[in-house]
Amino acid sequence: MKNLSLILVLVTMVAISCTNKSGTEKSNPFLAEFDTPFQVPPFDKIDTTHFIPAFKAGIEQEKAEIEAIINNPEEPNFENTIVPFDQTGEILRRARVFYTLNGANTNPALQRIARELSPLMSAHYNEINMNQQLFQKIKAVYDKREELGLDQEQLRVVEKYYQDFERNGAALPEEQREELKKINEELSMLSLRFGENELAETNDFKLVIDNEEDLVGLPEGVITGAVEAAKQHDMEGKWVFTLHKPSWIPFITYSPKRELREKIYKAMYNRGNNNNDHDNKDIIKQTIKLRDRKAELLGFDNYAEYVIANNMAKTPENVYDFLLKVWNPALEVAKSERDAMQKIINKEGGNFDLESWDWWYYAEKLRKQKYNLDEEELKPYFSLDNVREGIFHVSNKLYGLQFEERTDIPVYHEEVKTYEVKEADGSHLAILYIDSHPRPGKGGGAWCGAMRSGAYVDGEKVYPIVYIVTNFTRPTGDKPALLTFDETLTFFHEFGHALHNFFADGHYRRTSRDVPRDYVELPSQIMEHWAAEPEVLKEYAKHYETGEAIPDELIEKIKNSGHFNQGFATVEYVAAALLDMDWHTTENTDQIDVNKFEENAMDNIGLIDEIIPRYKSTYFGHIFDGGYSAGYYVYLWAEQLDSDAFNAFKESGDLFNQELAAKFRKYCLAENSLGDGMEQYLKFRGQEPSIDALLENRGLK
């Protein structure tokens, strides 16, 4: 039966082809191993017509592989059940590069494909996750796991797969399984629509300035960027500001034109809330109701309880308790920051109270007043190339990594750069793509992912293919891309995720990079600490024109202002995290007014009017179009870990302590599959972290 099934799959694969516009036949590159350096995706040969046939062929392949497992007459064991299931779906793994493209370089054709794929893939995974015969096979191995002589990792693989099936409803009665399948399919489509709406709302707004006097106060680089944006939108002779962060944030930080600050800021926070074709309120209401019903079917009181049961925090109550311990001191600091800015307004003769669209502008004034620090004074030392080399330097000093730029690797956009990552001994470790600048087809924010995860197949190492996507300011005129210090920290952050992908060394796909959601930000956030250390800054923060290292005076200003505006930063973040928790613990999902719900949630915690949540509901992509539903709190939770972990290096007297770096790589990154998050952390640190390190790190204690 197994051989017959695989033959049928091969026949299907051979039969599937794509036709280009001229009508000529063209083979589908996803149906065989990529014939490229390091087997990276052949972007130069991939056409949009390839994706649907490839996914359909992949579905048929995986179905046949699962049928072979089910129909194996031998008694289920690790080798004939768990291992083959772990290896299923090779075509789908290759085809999933589609999701990389749809996030970083989408277009109407890809979005149409995404809408077709969403129900197709949801139905496929529902069929697998609720397959009773497969579940019984895995359950049989799980029930006798202690008798099979499995090693620690193999035991964990069995337990994880069994838990996956349980949490996906395989143990439910048939009627409830069918209901859950429909819920999953609907949620998949809702998530897709939410993201499309958010992107459309971001791209649709333009603040067009045709009076040069309205540019007063804006740095030269910001103005040049607005000129370039105007050219891209066929508005030469004008200046265009958009809702991409490198555009709107500098505008509200430096423009004294209060009415214009208000206009662009309100456009930013009203995305998805304009009662038009891209409105997300109904999507939110449907999503919350479906998630609540899903949790109920699976035996949980609410969706947050379902999600967090698998995290380090374990319960929603623990999350609320943790967040409020940070919220209370942060809110007091934020109020004092507000009062200091109101004093500036009053002193200048401003006849108004500080509003949320004023905060960034007056915070910048306050920073100059308190620390004599101007962000524009820093930017010449943080060119994109220098920051990247700084990250490579830190990675080399900690782990011995080497980075070689490659020009022979196909890319999905001309701006993408590629690197081969090598171990200290020169052996291959990974391929890294870096995609740095905003464009209309790219989602907002920054993220790191893997086109291919590291794993082992038949004992042979499969090396990861990793990508970092950001939306950093573009080069303008004769200036290179110059980053703010916050953007610099973002780059270090995302590279920490890349390191996790490089180093993860589980022998099975299920556990290769398996950590709780509230642990996953530890590898990224710890990297941020090195970015601001004086000895590290001296290595990479060099003036783009003179090549001179950043002077001690500026380093001291960065250090002194390290806790500046942390009340605001912490409050806006925690407000969003609490909003996320409220959405996923609400008991009344039938009658929801999205704006009223959000307003009540913020009133309940005493959020001051001058600050809004970092993400308002209608563009909160992390929780409605991402993997952070009932989990946006995890960044702060992980900060307990990263603050404590970095202290280990500081306490040793050596920021690049080789022994500590080796332990961190081994226990927290490479072998994360061998224990729960805290178990692995304790192997590295020998102690549990406390919230004190977090509060001190943010200047809240």
3-class SS letters over 69-115: HHCCCCCCCHHHHHHHHHHCCHHHHHHCHHHHHHHHCCCHHHHHHHH
d(CA 473, CA 387): 13
Instruction: Give me the helix-helix angle, 634-652 and 677-685, nearest 10°.
Output: 10
The neighbouring-strand residues paired with 465 are 431, 452
Do residues 77 and 85 make contact, with C-beta atoms less than 8 angstroms apart?
A: no
Alpha-carbon distance of 13 to 31, in angstroms, equals: 6
Instruction: Please write down the long-range contacts of 688-693, taking CB distance under 8 Å and 24 or more positions apart.
Output: 689/640, 689/641, 689/643, 689/644, 689/645, 690/640, 690/644, 691/322, 691/325, 691/326, 691/640, 693/640, 693/643, 693/644, 693/647
Among 185, 201, 487, 494, the one annotated catalytic: 494
Spatial contact of 81 and 69, defined as CB atoms under 8 Å apart: yes
What is the rounded distance in angstroms from the CA atom of residue 552 to the CA atom of residue 98? 46
Residue 616, Cα to own-chain centre: how many angstroms? 18
Residue type (1 letter), 548: E
Tell me, yes or no, if 494 is annotated catalytic: yes
| Chain Cα centroid distance, residue 36 | 27
SS3 403: strand
Region of residue 452 (phi > 0: left; psi between -120 and 50: alpha; otherwise: beta): beta
As to burial, measured by CB atoms within 10 angstroms (0-12 exposed, 13-18 middle, 19+ buried), residue 406 is middle
Placement of tokens 């999701």 in the chain:
99
Distance CA 216, CA 218 (A): 6
Burial pattern 454-477, b for ≥16 Cβ within 10 A else e, equals: bbbeeeeeebbbbbbbbbbbbbbe
Active site residues: 494
